[in-house]
Amino acid sequence: MPISYTQAKVAFDEKGEAIDIKYQAGNSLFNNLFTTNEENDMNKNSFSQIDCLPRFIKMVFKEKQAITFTHYFKTTHTFYEFIICQSSEKHTIDIFGVDITARNEAENALREINKKLEMTLSVARIIPWRWNLKSDMITCESEQILAHMNFTKEKGSTPQAHIIKASEYFQKMHPEDVERMQQIHKNLASGKLQHAKEEFRIITEVEGRKFTDWLETNAVVDQYDEQGNPISLVGSLLLITERKRQEKALVTAREKALESERLKSAFLANMSHEIRTPLNAIIGFSSLLTTTEDEHEREEFISIIENNNQLLLQLISDILDLSKIEANTLDFNYQHVDLNGLARDVERTVRRRLQPNVVLNFIPGVTECHVQTERNRLSQVLINLLVNASKFTSTGSITFGYEIRGEELYFYVKDTGRGISQEDQNKIFERFTKVDTFTQGTGLGLSICKNIIEKMKGRIGVESEGKDKGSTFWFTIPYKPEIATQQNKRHEAVNPTATVPQQKPVILIAEDNENNYLLFDSILNKEYNLIHAWNGEEAIELYRKFQPHVIIMDINMPKMDGYEAAREIRKFSKTIPIIAVTAYSFSSDKEKVLENGFNGYVPKPVDVHILKEKLHSTIKQNIAAI
C-alpha cells in the first residue's frame, strides 16, 4: 500500500502550543498529495491548515504516543488516515499518510446496506438471533420487534442486540408448544438435527392482559467444538401472528362453505318434502270435492285444503325470509306502534289456528304502551311463536303478553302443551330443527325469529321443565317509549256504534286478471255489490261514475298501474278508502303503498278472513268519519 511520509520541525510558544510547522523531508507521494490540495489563496502547505493538527501535535509530545486521525480533502475528494508520532530528534515529528478513500466508500456502502437490511427485517418482522449453547444465552437483533414481548435484557445487551436467557424463552412459550420445541432444541444441540423449521406461540402478559404471538423459527448449527459437538446455533424468528389469523379465517370460511353446502342439500331435501306434502293434500282433496255429494265430507275436504293452503303459504314466506337473511337484506322499518293494539291484532290472527280445547289469553303489561319499533317483524315473531304453541298444545291454554323491564320489553308465550327436553332446547333455534318430525312445519320459523330479534338488538330463548310440562318462549327488544299523538289516536279509534248500512255497499275492484276477479266475486258477492275495472284508467272512470264505498286496487295493471290510478282518484276524493292488493310484502313496498294514497293493503295470496275484516273495519271507519 503506497504510504505518504514526511518529517517536520515544530515550534512552540511559551504555553507549549504549536505555532509553526516546518517540513524537512518528505517522499514524492506526500509532496504530490499536498501540492494538489493546496488552497489557491494560501502559500502554506495545506496540511498545516488542518484545524486539529496543533492539538494532536501537543498530545504527541505530552503523552509521548502516536496519534491517528482521518482527514477529508475537498479539492481531490479523498480521505486520508494520518499517523503522527514523535521522532528521535527534539521537537520533530514523523507523519505517515494512507489513502483510505476506497475503504471509506466501502464502509459507507456497507452501512447503507446494513440500514436497508435492518429496515427490511423490521418490515418483514424477521428477528435474526444467535444461540450460545455453552452459556445458554440467545442474542437477538431488531430489539423494537421484541419489545412488546417483554423479555428481560440480560447483561451485555446493547441497543442493537438483545440478550435473553434460554430458560425465559421457553417459559414464555405456550404450554402446548413447550415440549415439542424443547425436543427440537435438544436434537440440534446434540447434533441429531442440522436444520429445523417450526412454528410456536409466545404468551406475553401486559398489565394483566395476555397476548399471544405466533412465531416461525429457522435454526441451523453454526459452530462446532474440537470434538465435533455443536456450540452455537444461528437462525431467525418471523412474526406470523397475522398469517395465522388469516389461515384461521380461511379454515373458518372453508368450514362455513362446507356447512353451507350441507345446509343447502338439507334445505332442498326438506323443501322437497315440505312442499309436496301440502300440495299432495291440496290436489288430492280438490279432486275429491268434485266427486262427493256429502255436505259433511265437502266441508271436511275444504277445511283440509284451507289448512294446507296456510301451511304452503307459511312455507313460501319462510323461504323468502330465509333468502333475505342470507343476503342480509331483511328490511326493518321502525315506526310508532300501539303495543296493545298490535297484540290484539295478533290474537285475532292466531285464534283461528287454535285446536278446539285450547284457550288463548293476552295479558298486557300496562294499560297503554306506545313504542318505537318494527311493527311487522314484531308481529311476525309473535305469530310464529303462538302458532308453534298451538301446534303442540291440544288442551289447556296459551298465554302471551309483555312486561316493561327497565330499558327492555320482555315478551313471552307460555303454553300447557308437550314441553321440550333439555337436549332439544339447546338446538331448537337452529335451522331445520323440529322437536317432532311428524308435526307439520319446515323447522325454519324459530331460526328466522332468532335472526329477527338479534337484528332488533334483542335476545330470545325458551324455558321448559321437560316433556308434557309446557314451555315458555320469550324474547326481549329495546324499550323506546313514544307518546301517542292525536293523529295516532285518530287512526286507531273506531266508533263502536257505527255499522255497515243495510243496503249492500258498493266495491270497485280494479283487477286485470279474470281468475283473480272471480275469486273476489266468490268471496264478496253476498255482502257487497261489485264493479269490475280491467285497468287503472277504467278504474278512474268507473269511480267517477258510480262513487263506490271502497276501492280494491291491484298494483300491477296494464295501461295505468295501481299507484298512478290511486293518485288520480285522490284528486277527486281525499276520503274514499282505497285498499291495495299486492304480491309484495316487504316493508319498503308497504311504505310505498301508503305514500301513494292507499289506506291499507291486502297481500297475495288473499286470505278470505283478512280481506273481509279489512273491508268491514274500513267501511265502519269511513261511516264514522262522515
In tens, the pLDDT along 251-275 reads 988 988 888 787 777 667 767 766 7
Dist CA 604 CA 585 (whole Å): 9
Which residue, 108, 115, 100, 61, is CA-closest to 84?
Answer: 61
pLDDT value, residue 575:
87
Cell 434460554 appears where? 166
Question: pLDDT: is 5 or 36 the higher one?
Answer: 5
| Per-residue pLDDT tens digits for 304-323 | 888 788 778 777 877 777 77
Rounded mean pLDDT, 505-533: 87
User: Considering just the CA atoms, what is the radius of gyration of the chain in Å?
Assistant: 47
User: Looking at this protein, which amino acid is placed at residue 363?
Assistant: I
pLDDT for the residue numbered 63: 83
The amino acid sitting at 556 is N
Phi-psi region for residue 163, left (φ > 0), alpha (ψ -120 to 50) or beta?
A: beta
CA distance 472 to 416: 9
Q: Report the mean per-residue pLDDT for the chain.
A: 82
Which residues, in sequence order, are bridge partners of residue 617? none
DSSP string, 222-248: EEE-TTS-EEEEEEEEEE-HHHHHHHH
Instruction: Give residue 313's identity as a one-letter amino acid code.
Output: L
Point out which residues pair with 162 in neighbouring strands.
Answer: 140
> Domains plus CATH for the chain?
4-99 (3.30.450), 117-239 (3.30.450.20), 253-325 (1.10.287.130), 330-478 (3.30.565.10), 494-625 (3.40.50.2300)
* 1: its cell numbers: 500500500
pLDDT(39) > 60: no
Beta carbons of 372 and 482 less than 8 angstroms apart: yes
- What is the grid cell recorded at 297? 265430507
Q: What is the per-residue pLDDT for 495?
A: 35
**DSSP H helical segments within 71-201, as ranges?**
101-124, 143-146, 166-171, 175-190
pLDDT at 509 over 60: yes
Assign residue 334 a region (left: φ > 0; alpha: ψ between -120 and 50; beta: otherwise). Answer: beta
Average pLDDT over residues 516-543: 88
Instruction: Tell me how far apart the alpha carbons of residues 330 and 456 are, in angstroms, rounded to a whole number.
Output: 11
Note the pLDDT of residue 501: 43
Phi, psi of 251 (to 5 degrees): -65, -45
Residue 487 above 50 pLDDT?
Answer: no
Residue 616 cell numbers, joined:
268491514
Using a cut of 0.75, tell me whether the model's pTM lies above it.
Answer: no
State residue 125's pLDDT score. 62
Query: Above 60 in pLDDT, residue 583?
Result: yes
Cα separation values, 52 from 11, 453, 617, Å: 16, 83, 109
> Of 559, 595, 318, nearest to 444 (Cα)?
318
For residue 75 the three cell numbers come to 479539492
Predicted confidence at residue 622, as pLDDT, reads: 66
The whole-number average pLDDT for the span 138-166 is: 77
Q: pLDDT digits over 410-468, tens only?
A: 999 999 988 888 888 888 888 766 666 555 555 678 888 998 999 999 999 999 988 77
* Grid coordinates belonging to 536: 287503472
* Percent of the chain with pLDDT strictly greater than 90: 21
